[in-house]
Amino acid sequence: MADISVNICGLQFSNPVLPAAGPPVWNGEAMKACAEGGAGGIVSKTVSVRPAVVPTPNMAQIPGGFLNTELWSELPVEQFIEREYPIAKETGLPLIISIGYTAEEIAELAPKVRPFADALELSTHYIGDDPTPMMEAIRAAKEAVDVPVFVKLSPFRDMKTAARAAKEAGADAIVAVNSFGPCLGVDIETGRLLMGSKEGYGWLSGPALKPLALRCVFDVARSVDLPIIGVGGISKGTDAIEFFMVGASAVGVCTAAILKGPSIFGKIARGIEKWLDDHGYSSIEEIRGLAIRNWEQREYRTTHVPPELDVDACIGCGLCEASCVYDAIHVIDEKAVLTPEKCYGCGLCVTRCPTRALSIT
């Protein structure tokens, strides 16, 4: 059985699936439920010097994703210190306390939460392309506490520059990424916007965010030698595997935990373990960065190379034929037939084939 435990900055996690800061960890009982659901560690909801005033409605499921106009915690930090963090500590899991946002606010908050924190996570959700405020926040945290400081990056910036700046400022690990936005959703039955924010905007998470989050982790991993917690659209074990392959050491889950409940953490962890076992790997470390290494060794091609077709594996479903805009593949007598001279090598049929009868080498 594969070993899915991970060690990040000296913190030992029984599995690499953590809650991401947000509604699933809004108070002590919720954090405890995440632990009981199988999380390998706890990340608390972001607190700041003042409670947030959150507009309503503030969450909505949309096709392929999720919108929210959530802010930081609506509970005062004093309540977290007096009640919520102690409950979270009862789980015995590493507790990463999320705080924000400015250097001044972090300098005030970090010493207060330190007695409960195994590490800090700094939210940079409202920081734009200039890395200076992020760097100042990291330095403020490093001066205030003696535990590892993780910084969470937003996906709309130059990730390579941001990652290098975070390392220069002293960050011990990087969390990537936060939700993306602003975005908009409309209820067509009422003509009203889905979010209750002043502008009507929300922030995108869930499956639609995953390709963007993967790119961000890929960029960070190629820029700095720091542990990365990948966040964005993870709802099953194979999603997490993708993040490990682009360089993540662990993953954070928020939207799936909102929609499916805290048991999702254990389900994802078991899915990771099963995939590793099925593919002959003994640990996550064996696949971490695999996609990066393959990318570095790849042959960059601009010529049209058709996929290889394993006729025996073809079930004649017709998905390849339906989506081939070049008319290069057809199902004849319940088997796919490829016309190589028509194929442009776009690769779409390979990604659609349910039996992997088509492949690109």
For the segment 219-247, what is each residue's pLDDT rounded down to a tens digit? Answer: 999 999 999 999 999 999 999 999 999 99
List all residues 6 or more positions away from 303 whose beta carbon is below 8 Å from its beta carbon: 345
Residue at 138 is within a domain = yes
| Burial (0-12, 13-18, 19+ Cβ within 10 Å), 157 | buried
Domain count, the chain: 2
Distance CA 307, CA 339 (A): 10
Residue at 348 is within a domain = yes
Global pTM? 0.96
CA 27 to chain centre: 21
Residues 207, 91, single domain; the answer is: yes
Q: Are 342 and 328 in contact (CB under 8 A)?
A: yes
The proportion of the chain whose per-residue pLDDT surpasses 70, expressed as a percent, equals 99
State how far the alpha carbon of 62 is from the alpha carbons of 67, 68, 208, in Å.
7, 10, 10
Per-residue pLDDT, averaged over 97-114, amounts to 96
Distance CA 174, CA 149 (A): 9
Distance CA 29, CA 31 (A): 5
Query: Final residue of a domain: which of 256, 280, 295?
Result: 295
Residues 258, 331, single domain; the answer is: no
Query: Final residue of a domain: which of 263, 295, 327?
Result: 295
Per-residue pLDDT, averaged over 64-93, amounts to 97
Q: Which structural domain, as residue segments, surrounds residue 321?
A: 301-359
> What is the CATH number for 175?
3.20.20.70
Residues 167, 243, single domain; the answer is: yes
Report phi then psi at 28, rounded to 5. -60, -45
Residues 243, 99, single domain; the answer is: yes
Residues 63, 91, single domain; the answer is: yes
Alpha carbon distance, N-terminus to C-terminus of the chain: 30
Residues 291, 324, single domain; the answer is: no
Q: What is the pLDDT of residues 3-36, one digit of tens each?
A: 999 999 999 999 999 999 999 999 999 999 999 9
pLDDT computed for residue 5 by the predictor: 98
Residue at 44 is within a domain = yes
Residues 196, 65, single domain; the answer is: yes
Residue at 174 is within a domain = yes
Residue at 1 is within a domain = no
Q: What is the pLDDT of residues 38-49, one digit of tens each?
A: 999 999 999 999
pLDDT computed for residue 31 by the predictor: 98
Query: Final residue of a domain: which of 264, 295, 326?
Result: 295
State how far the alpha carbon of 15 is from the alpha carbons of 116, 122, 127, 145, in Å.
21, 22, 31, 26
pLDDT computed for residue 304 by the predictor: 85
Helices 237-245, 210-221: crossing angle, 10 deg rounding: 30
pLDDT computed for residue 128 by the predictor: 64
Per-residue pLDDT, averaged over 75-82, amounts to 98
List all residues 6 or more positions away from 87 whose beta carbon is below 8 Å from its beta carbon: 27, 28, 29, 31, 32
Q: What is the pLDDT of residues 121-179, one digit of tens each?
A: 999 755 567 889 999 999 999 999 999 999 999 987 789 999 999 999 999 999 999 99
Using DSSP's 3-state secondary structure scheme, residue 310 falls into: coil
pLDDT computed for residue 126 by the predictor: 53
Residue at 42 is within a domain = yes
